[in-house]
A and B are shown apart, each in its own frame.
Chain A
Amino acid sequence: MKNNVVKLMQGNEACVEGAIAAGMTFYGGYPITPSTEVAEGSAEKLPRVGGKFIQMEDEIAGMAATIGAALTGAKAMTATSGPGFSLKQENIGYAAMAEAPCVIVNVQRHGPSTGLPTSPSQGDVMQAKWGTHGDHPVIALSPSSVKETFDLTVRCFNLAEKYRTPVILLLDEIVGHMREKIEIPSADDIEIIDRKKPTCAPEDYLAYGVEGDELVPAMAGFGDGYRYHVTGLVHDETGFPTNSTEVAQTLITRLMDKVEKNVDDIVEYEEFMLEDAELVVLGYGGNARAVKAAVRKAREEGLKVGMFRPITIWPFPEKQVIELANKVDNIIVSELNYGQIALEVERVVKGATKVSHIGKINGEILTPDEILAKIKEVL
């Protein structure tokens, strides 16, 4: 604890600090508000630690360069906002298929289209899950504070390395641009996970081979002496394309299982004043701060209200939300969109409790009073 540094910092800046602490050595991206400070911070910091920053010609290229770097062994990241996130989608799918570990930061802004560039929104949660084509696993984490942005950025890299998959840090403009005091832990206090490297002889290496019920293949970097082939096509354990429906089934199932069979390892959430709650407000990211304030106010008025905050948005904390639904009379989903996660909650609880939604789509944040009013309306 003694080496901790205390700083006043923006969420976007904390993201860069977290990435460097996690071992980021490569950043490839294209600037867009409100994510720009992530690029600027990376440009400043990376060469100081021997890493590389490159401003590519667009977001597609930024995602591609990030994957290219990851395949040489680098811990690589890119950052963007709404429109740029849309552009990255094809290559995010590629990273999932090629099992290239990397981190994609999306500081969400108002949309659709160029919307309100510097206004907050949580309009990309479904894009994070379904944005690219085909079925593939998705991990997306959403911080609520500057400190948590630091911690979750580290975690994004760790999950990417552990499961060899792209991981999304789903920030929003509120947290990205907010300034707060943060204590940066010393390097010894930060857990770092690195991808598993092959130990076999190069001629025995199966780039996508797993043993027994293992799900994640060992990964050599290009240039390490293990020559192999990477493609976005369906490939067998050697990495070469095939048209076999059987191989396609096995491959996509394994990719999905990497996340689905490890939900308990991946999912994180926060519970607040839930013990005797009869109504729960579910909120995440920057908006959860208003939810917490509303819950406090409700408690002051003697209302039995609590908060549930998914920190891992994808995979969605289904088990925990089902348990909640069986205990409480109402779940209000509060979010800065038209009801994207509200739909997910409805899907998950299957009528076990009443689900309602409070949202905003005008570029403004929800205030605690507005959320409190909704609580009173529902009760």
Chain B
Amino acid sequence: MSSQLIQDTFRMNKLPHIWCPGCGHGILMRGIAQAIQNLGLDKDKVCVVSGIGCSSRAPGYMDFNTLHTTHGRALAFATGVKLARPELTVIVITGDGDASAIGGNHLIHAARRNIDITTIVFNNNIYGMTGGQYSPATPTGDLGTTAPYGNIDRPFDICNLGAAAGATYVARSTAYHVNPLIKYIQKGIENKGFSLIEGISSCPTYYGRKNKKGDSVNMLKWQKDHAVDVKRAEKLTEEQLEGKFLIGEFVSTTSPEYTEEYQKIIDRLSKER
């Protein structure tokens, strides 16, 4: 029996999904659906947009207005949707490669504009769909099919990137830490402006196997053991933080929102007439 949440927010006839057994993406997708339901949003007024990748297949399963676009371009399509119809709640689902490699430019500019879109990056540290090539989120030294001798690229911190570009809400959680993830997505949707939530996912099929991270349970356990909340991290020494990564809320601020600012121009011009 599927849960009430799944029956209410998913396209039951499109399940089961295509993801590998043990893939972290399903947990993150469910978290998004839970957040939307917790907020009681009208399904007709929600639009979920994605690019291309394993993660970007999520909108196909979700019972909203859904748009599966070209690789890296979800935010650019979503910007058109949101600006043309600001009453829609626009949510972007994207992978680490989709968001920060081919789509990196769109990510920083959507953040800079502070347009009211909530972006959830499913970060599995690898290109899953194309079979395990390194991504801008693959740690230096790790292996990928295109990094057979170890990746020499330095990785992006996607949250830092979004924060530096001007996102007004930035948070990170993991497939293991689902409850905070749901809370952050809710807060991101409620934030009037650009919100970026990084969800650390896991790809046991490629990243896990190539880098000897064990099976999916081990990968989730790794998330549990290595994530440190940003507030708690303040009290820890550099040594204690060695090898750990931060989760939690990094930015929560307010700034004029793009579609509202544009509407002000329209209103001003209509008064002049």
Q: Report A's interface with B, CB cutoff 8 A.
A: 25-26, 28, 47-48, 50, 52, 54, 56-58, 60-62, 64-74, 76, 90-91, 94, 221-225, 227-233, 240-241
User: With the chains together, A72 CA to B47 CA distance in Å?
Assistant: 10
User: With the chains together, A73 CA to B83 CA distance in Å?
Assistant: 12
Contact B84 A69 (CB under 8 A): yes
Contact B68 A229 (CB under 8 A): yes
CB contact between B79 and one of A56, A60, A230 (< 8 Å): that residue: A56
Residues of B within 8 A of A68 (CB): 49, 67, 76-82, 84
Determine how close the nearest CB of chain A comes to the CB of B172; give it in whole angstroms: 24
Contact A232 B60 (CB under 8 A): no
Interface membership of B262, Cβ < 8 A: yes
Residues of B within 8 A of A225 (CB): 44
Known: A72-B84, A240-B14. 11 other contacts (CB 8 A): A52-B84, A54-B79, A54-B83, A57-B106, A61-B106, A67-B69, A67-B80, A71-B81, A227-B66, A228-B66, A241-B60
Determine how close the nearest CB of chain A comes to the CB of B56; give it in whole angstroms: 10
Interface membership of B15, Cβ < 8 A: no
Task: Assess A230 versus B106: contact at CB under 8 Å? Given A26-B83, A68-B79.
Answer: no
Residues of A within 8 A of B212 (CB): none
Contact A61 B73 (CB under 8 A): yes
The 6 closest A-B pairs by CB, nearest first: A68-B80, A65-B80, A64-B76, A69-B84, A61-B76, A222-B65
Contact B59 A72 (CB under 8 A): no
Least CB separation from A65: chain B residue? B80
Query: Which of A68, A70, A71, A228 has the most chain B CB atoms inside 10 A of its CB?
Result: A68
Could you list 17 A-B pairs, sorted by A, with CB under 8 Å? A25-B84, A26-B80, A50-B270, A52-B84, A54-B79, A60-B76, A65-B80, A68-B79, A69-B84, A74-B84, A74-B85, A76-B80, A223-B44, A223-B88, A229-B60, A231-B68, A240-B60
Contact B70 A228 (CB under 8 A): no
B residues 185-234 with Cβ under 8 Å of A? Answer: none
Determine how close the nearest CB of chain B comes to the CB of A263; give it in whole angstroms: 29
Determine how close the nearest CB of chain B comes to the CB of A370; give it in whole angstroms: 43
Determine how close the nearest CB of chain B comes to the CB of A326; give it in whole angstroms: 44
User: With the chains together, A91 CA to B73 CA distance in Å?
Assistant: 9
Determine how close the nearest CB of chain B comes to the CB of A31; give it in whole angstroms: 15
Residues of B within 8 A of A25 (CB): 84
Contact A57 B109 (CB under 8 A): yes
Contact A48 B83 (CB under 8 A): no
Determine how close the nearest CB of chain A comes to the CB of B23; give it in whole angstroms: 18
Contact B270 A69 (CB under 8 A): no
Determine how close the nearest CB of chain B comes to the CB of A230; give it in whole angstroms: 5
Number of A-B contacts (CB under 8 A): 132
Determine how close the nearest CB of chain B comes to the CB of A200; give it in whole angstroms: 15
Task: Assess A64 versus B85: contact at CB under 8 Å? Given A48-B269, A56-B76, A223-B47.
Answer: no
Least CB separation from A241: chain B residue? B60
Contact A69 B68 (CB under 8 A): no
User: With the chains together, A90 CA to B77 CA distance in Å?
Assistant: 13
Query: Which of B60, B67, B80 has the most chain A CB atoms inside 10 A of its CB?
Result: B80
Task: Assess A64 versus B69: contact at CB under 8 Å? Given A69-B81, A74-B84.
Answer: yes
Contact A47 B266 (CB under 8 A): yes
Per DSSP, chain B at the interface is helix
Residues of B within 8 A of A224 (CB): 44
Interface membership of B45, Cβ < 8 A: yes
User: With the chains together, A56 CA to B105 CA distance in Å?
Assistant: 10
Interface membership of B87, Cβ < 8 A: yes
Size of chain B's interface in residues, with CB distance under 8 A?
38
Interface membership of B156, Cβ < 8 A: no
Contact A28 B80 (CB under 8 A): yes
Determine how close the nearest CB of chain B comes to the CB of A320; give it in whole angstroms: 37
Residues of A within 8 A of B77 (CB): 64-65, 67-68
Q: What is the 8 Å Cβ interface bit string for chain B, positions 32-65, against chain A (1 contact, 0 not)?
A: 0000000000011101010000000001100111
Least CB separation from B47: chain A residue? A222
Determine how close the nearest CB of chain B comes to the CB of A260; give it in whole angstroms: 26
Contact B14 A72 (CB under 8 A): no
Determine how close the nearest CB of chain A comes to the CB of B8; give it in whole angstroms: 13
Contact B67 A71 (CB under 8 A): yes
User: With the chains together, A297 CA to B59 CA distance in Å?
Assistant: 63
User: With the chains together, A91 CA to B109 CA distance in Å?
Assistant: 19
Determine how close the nearest CB of chain A comes to the CB of B81; give it in whole angstroms: 4
Residues of A within 8 A of B76 (CB): 56-57, 60-62, 64-65, 68
Determine how close the nearest CB of chain B comes to the CB of A41; give it in whole angstroms: 15
Interface membership of B265, Cβ < 8 A: yes
Contact B73 A64 (CB under 8 A): yes
Contact A223 B65 (CB under 8 A): yes
Contact B66 A230 (CB under 8 A): yes
Residues of B within 8 A of A57 (CB): 76, 105-106, 109
Residues of B within 8 A of A71 (CB): 67, 80-81
Residues of B within 8 A of A70 (CB): 80
Least CB separation from A54: chain B residue? B83
User: With the chains together, A223 CA to B44 CA distance in Å?
Assistant: 6
Determine how close the nearest CB of chain A comes to the CB of B92; give it in whole angstroms: 11
Determine how close the nearest CB of chain B comes to the CB of A77; give it in whole angstroms: 12
User: With the chains together, A229 CA to B68 CA distance in Å?
Assistant: 8
User: With the chains together, A122 CA to B153 CA distance in Å?
Assistant: 43
Task: Assess A90 versus B79: contact at CB under 8 Å? Given A72-B85, A222-B47, A223-B88.
Answer: no
User: With the chains together, A104 CA to B203 CA distance in Å?
Assistant: 39
Contact A222 B85 (CB under 8 A): yes
Determine how close the nearest CB of chain A comes to the CB of B31; give it in whole angstroms: 21
CB contact between B44 and one of A72, A227, A229 (< 8 Å): that residue: A227
Contact A76 B14 (CB under 8 A): no
User: With the chains together, A73 CA to B80 CA distance in Å?
Assistant: 11
Residues of A within 8 A of B265 (CB): 47
Task: Assess A58 versus B67: contact at CB under 8 Å? Given A52-B262, A65-B79, A68-B80.
Answer: no
Residues of A within 8 A of B266 (CB): 47, 50
